[in-house]
Structure 1
Amino acid sequence: MSVTRTTCPYCGVGCGVTIDPSGQVTGDRDHPANFGRLCSKGSALGETLALPNRLLSPRLHGKAIGWDAALDEVAARFADAIAQHGPDSVAIYGSGQLLTEDYYVANKLMKGCIGTGNMDTNSRLCMASTVAGQKRAFGGDIVPGQYEDLEQADLVVLVGSNTAWCHPVLYQRLIAAKQKRGTRIVVIDPRRTATTEDATLHLAVKPGGDVALFNGLLIYLIDHLQTNHLFNSSVTGLAAAEEMARAHLRTLERDTGLSQAELYLFYDWFARTEKVVTVFSQGVNQSSAGTDKVNAIINVHLATGRIGRPGMGPLSATGQPNAMGGREVGGLANQLAAHLDIDGTADRDLLARFWKLPRVADKPGLKAVDLFTAAADGKIQALWIMATNPMVSLPDADVVRRALERCPFVIVSDIVADSDTARRAHLLLPAAGWGEKDGTVTNSERRISRQRAFRSLPDGVKPDWWAICEVGKRLGFSEQFAFQGPADIFREHAALSGFENDGRRVFDISALDGITAADYEGLKPFCWPWRKGEQPTARLFADGRFPTPDGKARIVPVAPRPPVHTPRKKRPLILNTARLRDQWHTMTRTGIVERLGQHRPVPQLHIHPDDAGDIQSGQLVEVTSDWGRALLIADITADGRAGEVAAMMHWTAATGSGAEIGPVVNPAVDPVSGQPELKHTPVSIKPLATRWQGLLILRDPPVTPPKAAETLIVRQPMEGAWVYRLTASQYAADPSTIPAPSGAEFVSAVDRTRGKIRWAAIRNGQVEALFFAAPADQKLPDAEALIALLALNPSDPDMQASLLAGRLTQTAPRSPQICICFGITQEQIETAIAGGCQTTEALGAKLRCGTNCGSCLPELKEMIRHAAIVHA
């Protein structure tokens, strides 16, 4: 066996990964996205291969069936719905976890063969505003720059991006450039995050203030003669944008929440620095004004010519590994494949001729939020969900639940059967996971890379592209889906990109339309476009030419406007949603790795001290909006602005029952992009007295506990067992909330005087599970000590009785891990700092923390600074 080169399945950086014959995962030193670096999540990929509760056969209404029967059922349900209700009664909801080849055939099935635009993706929640803004400005969904621009810039502006946690490898490239070249870093974010630790300037902008901030910058640049008069011949709309921006200049400080001194310092730096890169991410996109925010950022780069040249330009940092690849093949409901326009008659005719179909979809389909609302209203008769968990990721999750309950037939293709969404499916299809997939992905700098399989498919598991093609054949389109493998699909995708393309569409990889299977297998990373007879083009627009009818870019007039829903007396606080450093989306993979759960093990609500009142850190709190509620653990911190709270989006019914934030989140959407307002939800909070606590330890793979009123149940992997911690506002929890093993004998003990409950589940003489419950003011046994005893497989009744009694040697509470790569705890780091390690370099030399992926470096700096303050 030789080393396999593939890509990481997490964020849009698109890091290269190598797998050696022993299964060891390392960064690919030859991949231009990461040059060998990996973040904590990527480094732990090898630990996510053996998933608990892996879906290994199709299941119809909970019963295992064969693939032929399953695909016959999908085709029949789709055909019946189309015959009775029309093509718009069926839909596919995909994911940036799909490979481009999967996306291509799904889009071909829906928008080509079936003729409906109802093919959307969770990229709608991630990058749709960027897509819309780039199309308005450039005439196409095109990221102009490269990652290397971060290393060549003199000023890097990070807007709505906690890059240190969400794109750690890019962040480490930026910090290395700062150390080498003195690059200034400006972070524009309402919250103080790990990213602000290395910022030269942090602008804690008011939520929704981005348009006003960049409009103000545009006026400053115009007034200080910083517009590029040579480049202005390549743009239109500057006068209209200036007029609109000036109309709101008087309220700039109010709209941004920033002082005049802060604003002018940033504006002066931008004006005096030629090489400026502006990186923006979900804090910009996930807004009811997201598209306008994107255009406000692009406007200042177009007006000053800071685009298309080394070290300058706007750069969208994509959230998912193949969000851009999906967009290339029409994964969004308002797109067609190969960047063709669904609203354009000529484009539709071109695609129909290429696919040899009489017609293709002639209008946009339903975007994500509207799609599930339509299903909840009974308008969708068959819905196929692939590689995503909309019950957790979409706003107003109760509508998603009603959609899945009301839709007559829901298919879910996934790798596990126990996601919040999969549990509501009529048919489950077992899909290939990372390490088993074969195809291509495109990262945030337009770089296409191969994702190669290095594991055989488990029996009963199939790739998504194969399942889609088999359904297409059953619906009568055998010619359109006669693919033998992903290389065939990629060839057609490449050929379509160049078909009758006169240069109007920048996306063009027609140089590969005849690629052989062997060359496809060995394909090295490249940036599009790669036109026939040319070399790949990395950086675009330096010549001032754009794919618009007149060849000019558009500076788009945009005006500040408040979010759709704003705080009021009943809901006085703003909820922001964010991401954890070491977890990915809904924790299907990362949530099974013990070390990835050590840094932030519980779902928290971050509350400013001015808003906390009597709430204490560690207390159970309820956060409520007009759409739903969640239970979280309070964290009182001044990292955010007063009047604002923040919660992480990862927790699900399986990993944090009660803590799911989706039901709380505001479902308002951007009118242009359809992207939801995930960063701005009016909420109220109230403390819940913690009267009861529980500890459950299971040997078996994890299960999903049922919901219980005012009870938070958090799951963690630990030392080969699964630990559930329960926190409730009642003295006695409903026993039905405890996910007990089935088929076991239960031995219990109840101390009614002290309010304690204990039981052990015993199967074949071996303890399979332990449960302890007590009032909040009493101690529970130590989980690590219990697990250590369970590992001994105690069968002696006296030992089992000791377990049940909880008579164990108490161990010191586990210190949180700060450096996940090397397992270095907070206690170890604090000891080293007290012993004289006053720099991150000194800590790295002593403990190795911060010397691998670098994700912990911001926190190490904060700990050093805090220690200096305490001992000053």
Structure 2
Amino acid sequence: MENTETGKAVRTTCPYCGVGCGVIATPDGNGGATIAGDTEHPANFGRLCSKGSALGETLALETRLLHPEIDGQRVTWDAALDHVSSRISDIKEEHGPGSIAFYLSGQLLTEDYYVANKLAKGFIGTPHVDTNSRLCMSSSVAGHKRAFGADIVPQCYDDLELADLIVLVGSNAAWCHPILYQRIQVARAERGVRVVVIDPRRTATCEGADLHLPIEPGKDSVLWNGLLVHLADKGLVDWRFIGDHTEGFPEALAEARGQAGSIASIAIETGLNGIDIETFFSWWSEAPKVVSCYSQGVNQSAQGTDKVNAIINCHLATGRIGKIGSGPLSLTGQPNAMGGREVGGLANMLAAHMGFSPADRSRVSRFWQAPNLITDEGLKAVQMFDAIADGRIKALWVMGTNPAVSLPQADYVRAALCKLELFVVSENVVSNDTAAEAGVRLPAAAWGEKDGTVTNSERRISRQRKFLPLAGEARPDWWILSEVAKRLGYERYFAFESVSDIFREHASLSHFENGGTRPFDLGVLTDLSPASYDQLAPVQWPISQPGASGTERLFGEGGFATPNGRARFVTVRMPKLAAEVNEAWPFVLNTGRVRDQWHTMTRTGLSPRLWRHISEPFVEVHPSDAETMGLVQGQLAEVETASGKAVLRTLINEGQAPGSIFAPIHWSGQNSSAGRIGALVHPFTDPVSGQPEAKATPARISPLGVAYYGVVLSRVVPQIDDLAYWARSATSFGWTTHIALREGPTDWGAWSKTFMPDGEQVSFEDPSSNLFRVATLNSGRLEAVAYFASKPELPSLAWLASIFERTDLTANDRRSVLAGRPIEGLADEGDIICVCFQVGAHRIREAIRSGCNSVEDIGCALRAGTNCGSCVPELRRLLSDATSVSLDAAE
């Protein structure tokens, strides 16, 4: 399945989260493809989430960077590559190799990552190579290395279906890892697996849990230290495993006992209910098989590494590691975060899981024949951009990521980029917040055009195969890097002709002078022919023999990667918060993801249906806090921290803890006026991992004073000046733009003509109710419609898509448009709940009223929840709400 011809199906891998789902793409001959899940891939067995299902809608070229550019002018590849290599040489000569930095991405393929790391650390000689994986999984990396001696995930996905208890710590898996969440829910339904969620917020994941522990931010390690003490006091530790395979248990237990003396003290420190703590301890202790999954809520913390080790300590103490259905499992955020770690993409790694010991440096230096191999680790992401801001770093090459949106203090980062003497981006989009500042823009291959490998959260290497030709003059990242290397004089060492050449070298380095001492070993793959590489099936490292599917679990019988083979218990001390709330900053800002968008939306933002669930940047507030701050549902709010400000739509939600607010990370300057949440996040980092604290920034929130709220639906982007707020999303017919006006115009009709398209204009104005509505038609077709009101109570919009699709509006259609609701012959879906099948809340509620009493009933009637399943938690909530209403009516 490797042919890129029309109609020839190609097996590849999804480019979103770390689950690493298999995808079958079938090119349509017009630059697009139909997308389906790969039923033979062991990560997903054919299922795809809403984002993966919509991949075919993200392949158009309208937003692509298709040609090299220098200072905004199109140039040839030779001119661009000559310029980059010449400037790197000049800056290195004048300021030293440490004045050059690379910032990479978990979106890169392993082969791209390998070449970048080799060029920078071995030949240019700069240690300053880091990746956006620093922002999502570096605390897990640090925790694994402290406990196991190497960055190794001991478990596999099958354990989620074989466990008796699954603990999701800081993981909204229902939205962020929906395919794994559905596997958990199947096990819960069929085998009675218990699920515990530890999270300050009541998220969609909690709808499928048996216990939710709404812990205070930063206090996870107190709870897990308490569990360690409970296990010891109840005689539930595995003394044989501890004695044979570990060290440091007495010290770790003594520290835990000092801070977790009783259930009551744990409850006070964590903000949890004592009975719930006892229940959690009892379930964890008594379950024969436990999997503890941790994700961003653990990692993105100033105490992230300690949280990871506190969890691992409990598994080591009970010997529940590397066994069927038992062990700690890090859920990776990006598709190739682990592949990047394998080749040394982090600043504190060298290559092939090797560090900076004399033996490792000697080994890598001799293998690469590297003339300028670095001697020590470089600056991690946050510190790297500090060095750019203060002038220590003069040149930066960013590949496949958007730090001007995603990094903490994003405004500070964007300003720092302007100070560089050389700023290069390898990117496949023509514009994003970062690329807009770059002097050199190099068009990189996009998903669908890329060829190589990725490694998912369970150590499984999968092929990403191209099924589309390269667009314009786009080139693979590894090719771009190799061409620069050749111009720098290193042609002999970067004479790669294909990705299979690079993979073989990568595998050979992992095996070089290994002798079984390093678990990351791809030795059996070093002799793959190009044809065998092309046919490579998903495989989990380490791999013992050719053709094997790899190793599912590690460390079940010891054999850790430490010098003495013993795992290390880590002494986890009482957490110190990076910053605490006070009178000036009374709220804790928590950040995260939404269900249907990915990172800064340069790809998912192209799919109209992925906008149907959530179309604006928002902030979640608890009802009591909203009342105190004078906020109402749908009102715009200004959220401010010491680092920046944002303007967001208020969502009042009882699942949000009092004193805490939540905002998603996805919006950028490309689609909102002030939705860049990275600009608000403070710069504190974990002292071990260097991972930024993104879950607990002190903040304040207040209503934004506006005169009118509005929304414009149009076939073209409306150009409106002097707005208090705007947020834009793609639709099947054009764009939806939510706006707010600081002042109402004196003449609505005249003002609307400044941004509405030409054509027949019809309008409705009610000064007594502060309403204004206007539509433009052209030859009987709706071109644009706009609604304005003094309150944030605007019409439902989903039904209007069908009006835009009509070529000749009827009288009823026209009345419906100005009324803001369907009058006759049109259905109003309401808010879209199921993105896969575009099923809205109104239709779901009607189905419930008609007798659908379960998620399965709704699926049979409407298909909602039957594809990716990520909307199932919301279907459960609608069922629960309907039951509550019925009970209230009965009383």
TM-score computed with the length of structure 1 as normaliser: 0.93
Does 1:392 find its partner at 2:440?
Answer: no
Matches of 2:241 and 2:191, distance apart in 1:
27
CA-CA distance at 1:59 after TM superposition: 1.5
Matches of 1:350 and 1:331, distance apart in 2:
18
Tell me the equivalent position of 2:825: none
The correspondence for 2:876, drawn from 838, 854, 861, is 861
Tell me the equivalent position of 2:3: none
Opposite residue 715 of structure 2, the aligned amino acid is R
CA-CA distance at 1:697 after TM superposition: 4.5
Residues 106, 830 of structure 1: CA spacing in aligned structure 2 closer, same or farther, 3 A cutoff? Answer: same
Query: For the Cα contact (< 8 Å) 1:348–1:359, is it kept in 2?
Result: no
CA-CA distance at 1:383 after TM superposition: 0.7
The correspondence for 1:131, drawn from 105, 126, 141, is 141
Tell me the equivalent position of 1:81: 91
The correspondence for 1:529, drawn from 510, 528, 542, is 542
Matches of 1:53 and 1:740, distance apart in 2:
28
The correspondence for 1:93, drawn from 103, 107, 120, is 103
Q: How does 1:631-642 map to 2 (within 5 A)?
A: 631-642=647-658
Tell me the equivalent position of 1:302: 316
- SS state at 1:240 partner: helix
Query: For the Cα contact (< 8 Å) 2:775–2:818, is it kept in 1?
Result: no
Matches of 1:747 and 1:871, distance apart in 2:
48
CA-CA distance at 1:720 after TM superposition: 2.3
CA-CA distance at 1:551 after TM superposition: 0.8
- SS state at 2:847 partner: helix
Does 1:817 find its partner at 2:832?
Answer: yes
Opposite residue 442 of structure 2, the aligned amino acid is L
CA-CA distance at 1:381 after TM superposition: 1.2
After superposition, what is the alpha-carbon deviation per residue over 1:206-231, rounded to whole angstroms, capped at 9, x for unaligned? 11110000000000001111111110
Matches of 2:317 and 2:659, distance apart in 1:
35
The correspondence for 2:440, drawn from 410, 423, 427, is 427
Query: For the Cα contact (< 8 Å) 1:785–1:809, is it kept in 2?
Result: no
Matches of 1:860 and 1:787, distance apart in 2:
24
Moved more, 690-699 or 566-575: 690-699
- SS state at 2:311 partner: helix
- Indicate the RMSD between aligned Cα atoms, in angstroms: 3.0
Matches of 1:324 and 1:827, distance apart in 2:
42
Tell me the equivalent position of 2:635: 619
The correspondence for 1:149, drawn from 143, 159, 168, is 159
Residues 758, 175 of structure 1: CA spacing in aligned structure 2 closer, same or farther, 3 A cutoff? Answer: closer
Does 1:369 find its partner at 2:382?
Answer: yes
Matches of 1:254 and 1:739, distance apart in 2:
57
Tell me the equivalent position of 1:237: 248
Tell me the equivalent position of 1:539: 553
Q: How does 1:272-671 map to 2 (within 5 A)?
A: 272-341=286-355, 343-531=356-544, 535=548, 536-612=550-626, 613=628, 614-671=630-687
Matches of 1:781 and 1:179, distance apart in 2:
39
The correspondence for 1:838, drawn from 853, 874, 882, is 853
Query: For the Cα contact (< 8 Å) 1:785–1:808, is it kept in 2?
Result: no
Matches of 1:419 and 1:186, distance apart in 2:
39
Matches of 2:272 and 2:765, distance apart in 1:
57
Matches of 1:263 and 1:141, distance apart in 2:
30
Residues 363, 750 of structure 1: CA spacing in aligned structure 2 closer, same or farther, 3 A cutoff? Answer: farther
Query: For the Cα contact (< 8 Å) 1:760–1:767, is it kept in 2?
Result: no
After superposition, what is the alpha-carbon deviation per residue over 1:818-846, rounded to whole angstroms, capped at 9, x for unaligned? 11111111001000111111111111111
- SS state at 1:657 partner: coil
Query: For the Cα contact (< 8 Å) 2:775–2:817, is it kept in 1?
Result: no
Query: For the Cα contact (< 8 Å) 2:27–2:468, is it kept in 1?
Result: no
Q: How does 1:22-41 map to 2 (within 5 A)?
A: 22=28, 23-41=33-51
TM-score computed with the length of structure 2 as normaliser: 0.91
CA-CA distance at 1:739 after TM superposition: 14
CA-CA distance at 1:118 after TM superposition: 1.0
Query: For the Cα contact (< 8 Å) 2:337–2:455, is it kept in 1?
Result: yes
Residues 491, 418 of structure 1: CA spacing in aligned structure 2 closer, same or farther, 3 A cutoff? Answer: same
Tell me the equivalent position of 2:191: 181
CA-CA distance at 1:256 after TM superposition: 1.2
Matches of 2:645 and 2:680, distance apart in 1:
5
After superposition, what is the alpha-carbon deviation per residue over 1:418-441, rounded to whole angstroms, capped at 9, x for unaligned? 211111111111111111100000
Matches of 1:179 and 1:753, distance apart in 2:
54
CA-CA distance at 1:767 after TM superposition: 10
Tell me the equivalent position of 1:688: 704
Tell me the equivalent position of 1:209: 219
- SS state at 1:37 partner: coil
Matches of 2:143 and 2:463, distance apart in 1:
28
Matches of 2:799 and 2:881, distance apart in 1:
32
Opposite residue 574 of structure 1, the aligned amino acid is V
Moved more, 568-577 or 18-27: 18-27
CA-CA distance at 1:502 after TM superposition: 2.2
Query: For the Cα contact (< 8 Å) 2:771–2:790, is it kept in 1?
Result: no
Matches of 2:820 and 2:787, distance apart in 1:
17
Matches of 2:200 and 2:884, distance apart in 1:
24
Residues 782, 824 of structure 1: CA spacing in aligned structure 2 closer, same or farther, 3 A cutoff? Answer: closer
Opposite residue 861 of structure 2, the aligned amino acid is K
Opposite residue 309 of structure 2, the aligned amino acid is N
CA-CA distance at 1:34 after TM superposition: 0.6
CA-CA distance at 1:728 after TM superposition: 3.6
- SS state at 2:349 partner: coil
Query: For the Cα contact (< 8 Å) 2:230–2:281, is it kept in 1?
Result: yes
Tell me the equivalent position of 1:218: 228
Tell me the equivalent position of 1:115: 125
After superposition, what is the alpha-carbon deviation per residue over 1:553-577, rounded to whole angstroms, capped at 9, x for unaligned? 0000011213211100000000101
Residues 477, 219 of structure 1: CA spacing in aligned structure 2 closer, same or farther, 3 A cutoff? Answer: same
CA-CA distance at 1:869 after TM superposition: 0.5
Residues 349, 819 of structure 1: CA spacing in aligned structure 2 closer, same or farther, 3 A cutoff? Answer: same
Residues 787, 854 of structure 1: CA spacing in aligned structure 2 closer, same or farther, 3 A cutoff? Answer: closer
Matches of 1:212 and 1:792, distance apart in 2:
60
Residues 470, 838 of structure 1: CA spacing in aligned structure 2 closer, same or farther, 3 A cutoff? Answer: same
Matches of 2:526 and 2:722, distance apart in 1:
56
Matches of 1:545 and 1:844, distance apart in 2:
47
Opposite residue 352 of structure 2, the aligned amino acid is A
Query: For the Cα contact (< 8 Å) 2:634–2:793, is it kept in 1?
Result: no
CA-CA distance at 1:252 after TM superposition: 1.8
CA-CA distance at 1:752 after TM superposition: 12
CA-CA distance at 1:52 after TM superposition: 2.9
Matches of 1:313 and 1:403, distance apart in 2:
42
CA-CA distance at 1:747 after TM superposition: 11
Residues 96, 685 of structure 1: CA spacing in aligned structure 2 closer, same or farther, 3 A cutoff? Answer: same
- SS state at 2:881 partner: helix
Matches of 1:555 and 1:665, distance apart in 2:
32
Query: For the Cα contact (< 8 Å) 2:215–2:272, is it kept in 1?
Result: yes
CA-CA distance at 1:693 after TM superposition: 3.3
Matches of 2:766 and 2:774, distance apart in 1:
17
CA-CA distance at 1:532 after TM superposition: 5.9
After superposition, what is the alpha-carbon deviation per residue over 1:847-870, rounded to whole angstroms, capped at 9, x for unaligned? 111111111111111111111001
Residues 78, 870 of structure 1: CA spacing in aligned structure 2 closer, same or farther, 3 A cutoff? Answer: same
Q: How does 1:5-20 map to 2 (within 5 A)?
A: 5-20=11-26
State the aligned residue count: 858
Moved more, 176-185 or 527-536: 527-536
Matches of 1:780 and 1:210, distance apart in 2:
41
Tell me the equivalent position of 2:283: 269
Matches of 1:616 and 1:746, distance apart in 2:
37
Query: For the Cα contact (< 8 Å) 1:721–1:787, is it kept in 2?
Result: no
Residues 138, 783 of structure 1: CA spacing in aligned structure 2 closer, same or farther, 3 A cutoff? Answer: closer
CA-CA distance at 1:537 after TM superposition: 1.8
